[in-house]
A and B are shown apart, each in its own frame.
Chain A
Amino acid sequence: MSSIAPVLEARGLVKRFGGVVAVDQVSLSLRAGEMLALIGPNGAGKSTCFNLLNGQLRADAGEILLEGRSLAGLPPRAIWRLGVGRTFQITATFASMTVRENVQVALLSHHRRIWRFWRAARHAFVAEAEALLDQVGMREQADRPCGVLAYGDLKRVELAIALANAPKLLLMDEPTAGMAPAERIALMELTRRLVRERGIACLFTEHDMDVVFGHADRILVMNRGRLIAEGDAAAVRADPAVREVYLGSGTTSGGH
């Protein structure tokens, strides 16, 4: 695996808000089929880092490369076109549409069929949409409006939407936030399977240490804007700097 060129590479990312350096010289790289977790206590800079990668924020310094191509200055929609799927910390779906229609819109956009004014969208890419919903286990609920779904189901719909453009990179901001423990494990198992099967590179932030240690191939630990540790679950668990950050701040999330 290590011989393959990275899908995502970030070098020396810096983001300041006024006098605060929220992200300070962060570099990371991510290969196809890899699950990389970005963790750290509240205010460590995870979300800022994430928003730099997905184009929501613009970095003050550093560069971001997707398969060697710079993403600097591109808006989120252009980054998506290059093959980056996203799920949000607080789910964002189209509440006035059914589950299937949500995925259909993403497929229409992917196939550049948005600027059509005549044929009904209802009949477009039905099979593809249902295949995607099948993969996340939401096919039975395809006709329900997204506005009435349970939270865990919305997360699955988001995942199906994120997969609609066959992404190379999947960015998931706290994918299991607000879910019940059993749902969390199911969603992460699903994600992990899809990542492996499709050779997607997946970066996620997470507060739940069970999720992190159970599903990440590699873990990055941030504190006060900087990367303080990197490695697999065992290495990060044993790292004294990580222990200090978590024990020192008293937020041993998960309590194990």
Chain B
Amino acid sequence: MDFLLVQFLTGLANASALFLIASGLTVIFGVTRVVNFAHGSFYMLGAYLAWTIVRALWEWGGREPWLFVSGLLLAALAVGAIGALVEMILLRRIYRAPELFQLLATFGVVLIVQDVTLALWGPEDLPLPRPRWLRAFVEVAGERFPLYDLILIFVGPVVLGLLWLLFQRTRFGILVRAATQDREMVAALGVDQRALFTGVFFLGSALAGLGGAIVLPSQNANLQMDLAIIAEAFVVVVVGGMGSVPGAFLASLLIAEVQAFGIVLVPKATLVLVFLVMAAVLMVRPYGLLGRPQAHARAPTGSVAPVIRAAPGVLKIAGAIALALAAAAPLYAGPYALTVLIELVVFILFAASLHLLMGPGGVVSFGHAAYFGLGAYGAALGVRFLAVPMEAGLVLAPLLAGLFGVVFGWFVVRLSGVYLAMLTLAFAQIVWAAAFQWVELTGGDNGILGVWPSPWARDKALFLWLALVLCLGATLLLRRAIYAPFGYALRAARDSELRAEAIGLDAARLRLVAFVLAAVAAGIAGGVYAYAKGSVFPTYISIPKSVDALLMVLLGGVQTVSGPIVGAVAFHGLFLTLLQWVEWWRAALGLAIVALVLAFPEGIAGFVQRRWEARFGAAS
């Protein structure tokens, strides 16, 4: 009993930090409709800044509690200022861009902040020295409970109360609530949107910074904090209902308690438990506990997609020549070039699989790496536990990916827009966490080694041909599906769900099948990749891997069938190979993403279309 009480209190303490982050995210989303990926970065910055500021204050005035509290608040304010600055420099320019581009831009910020933090504070984890009063315990029902955690329990409700006062009693708060309901109306009433949005970003970022600062005494400041927290924050915001602060509070309590007791009951699967809770909530309430359907539901794709025509003969010939050159590569290229070529072929399929979802399906998945990774782990687990040969491993790979595609896809296709993107991301993080956490099964961070091809395929040339057959074969099958009745029906459901249903098409089922096909294809890519590398690691499932796939599809153009192939070649072949030689490659990639979004806010395809129409006039 006593143990349960302590566990319950621990959950409450964790809920406070979670609420601070999630409330900031939800307020920002409510007003600006931007899903701020960089919110986890603000949380991380909060921890690092608090580490520096608190230590400086302590050096100046002794290790006093009031200086500690002041340090935390100063850190929060500093993060708020950084958030406002990011809003003014970057986000202000892209409020009208498609959601996908906003997410990408804020992900660019994540990468930049990671490298900046690394440059300023170094790669080591930074613990805060803890004076006696920070290490104190209190007696709760006969058990020792940290005093600091006990105080944290009250932080969440106090902040909720302060936010309530802010939203009910101040002009700023009333405007925020009004804008959350209908921001066009607020603009029409002559409210300065710029100041309001910047203010909201300041508030939201400061809350995230405070969240990072208050966990500093119990966790060290480290470089993994940003992406670790963002998935959890997304889950809380989705469960609570996007834009709802009380919803975020309830959801953070729920999720934190599920985690607190989950650690006791199923220590290896806390994140799976969290996922199940989220799934249960979304089944009963698709807009979260206290959320409402979005007033301004936008179509998943920003503009009207162009007509897809059959590939012209020139393109087919070019494709055949490229294929012949690739197949003949062992005759003229060295082993390193062959390795690069194999990877390239894998990523073409990875990009093509995501393209099926994003283009014809209109489903923007932010966690497509999950299925790539599941494919890789499917093969690797087969090798590790069943000692299966490569041939069987390459069957297990798409099987595992497809299985999860069915389960996750069932939920995903019922949502749209931001909820959908967040859900795909959350699912991917769950798979990643399982690969990372479940050491007995997956080897955790050390991965699974010794995933070697069968003897006949050990020769690089033969493996290249195998990869060409499997990956390009699957890519061509996906292409055929796009041109086949299924692809047309899928596009029909994307163009007009109303009309699609009115001619007997089941839009959700079409999307689900597309989701599973994409998962299976990504699984094949992952399986081939595992054997090419000889090992698998949790990084195969990480968020940056998902973003790689998105970038490949976007670079090539979402609405052209050959886009993902071109995009994969451009992104992987040029971009990454060049960036390998840059020391601060994360920041460079982040800046490139931000520049891309700023230069083409309507997407590359939209940009080309606009230029085309400017020169030759709109098509009739």
Q: List the interface of chain A (C-beta within 8 A of B).
A: 54, 75-78, 80-81, 86, 88, 92-98, 101, 104-106, 108-110, 113-122, 124, 144-145, 147-148, 161, 164-165
20 pairs across A/B with beta carbons < 8 Å? A75-B501, A81-B504, A86-B502, A88-B498, A94-B491, A96-B308, A97-B307, A105-B489, A109-B489, A109-B505, A110-B504, A116-B484, A117-B477, A117-B480, A117-B484, A117-B486, A118-B484, A119-B485, A121-B488, A147-B306
A-contact bits for B609-620, CB 8 A (1 contact / 0 none)? 000000000111
**Are A94 and B496 closer than 8 Å at their CB atoms?**
yes
**Are B502 and A80 closer than 8 Å at their CB atoms?**
yes
On chain B, the residues within 8 Å of A109 by CB distance are 489, 503-505
Q: Given A117-B481, A144-B620, 11 more contacts at CB 8 Å?
A: A77-B502, A94-B495, A94-B496, A97-B307, A114-B489, A114-B510, A120-B483, A120-B484, A121-B484, A147-B304, A164-B503
Contacting residue for A115 out of B304, B486, B491, B501, CB 8 A: B486
Secondary structure at chain B's binding surface: helix, strand, loop or mixed?
helix
Q: A121-B485, A122-B483, A147-B304 are in contact. Are A97 and B492 (CB under 8 A)?
A: yes
**Are B310 and A120 closer than 8 Å at their CB atoms?**
yes
Interface centre among B477, B481, B502, B559 (most CB of A within 10 A): B502
- B538: interface (CB < 8 Å): no
- B305: interface (CB < 8 Å): yes
A98, B496: Cα distance in complex, Å = 14
Contacting residue for A77 out of B310, B483, B505, CB 8 A: B505
Q: A94-B496, A106-B503 are in contact. Are A145 and B307 (CB under 8 A)?
A: yes
On chain A, the residues within 8 Å of B504 by CB distance are 77-78, 80-81, 109-110, 165
Q: A120-B310, A145-B307, A164-B503 are in contact. Are A97 and B486 (CB under 8 A)?
A: no
Minimum CB–CB distance for B215 against chain A, Å? 45
Q: List the interface of chain B (C-beta within 8 A of A).
A: 304-308, 310, 477, 480-481, 483-489, 491-492, 494-496, 498-506, 510, 513, 559, 618-620
A7, B307: Cα distance in complex, Å = 38
Minimum CB–CB distance for B96 against chain A, Å? 20
Minimum CB–CB distance for B600 against chain A, Å? 20
A81, B501: Cα distance in complex, Å = 10
**Are A93 and B489 closer than 8 Å at their CB atoms?**
no
Contacting residue for B485 out of A93, A114, A145, A161, CB 8 A: A114
**Are A116 and B306 closer than 8 Å at their CB atoms?**
no
**Are B310 and A122 closer than 8 Å at their CB atoms?**
yes
**Are A76 and B487 closer than 8 Å at their CB atoms?**
no
Contacting residue for A105 out of B306, B494, B503, CB 8 A: B503
Minimum CB–CB distance for B494 against chain A, Å? 8
**Are A116 and B486 closer than 8 Å at their CB atoms?**
yes
**Smallest CB-CB A-B distances: 6 pairs:** A92-B499, A96-B305, A94-B495, A92-B496, A145-B307, A116-B485
**Are A88 and B306 closer than 8 Å at their CB atoms?**
no
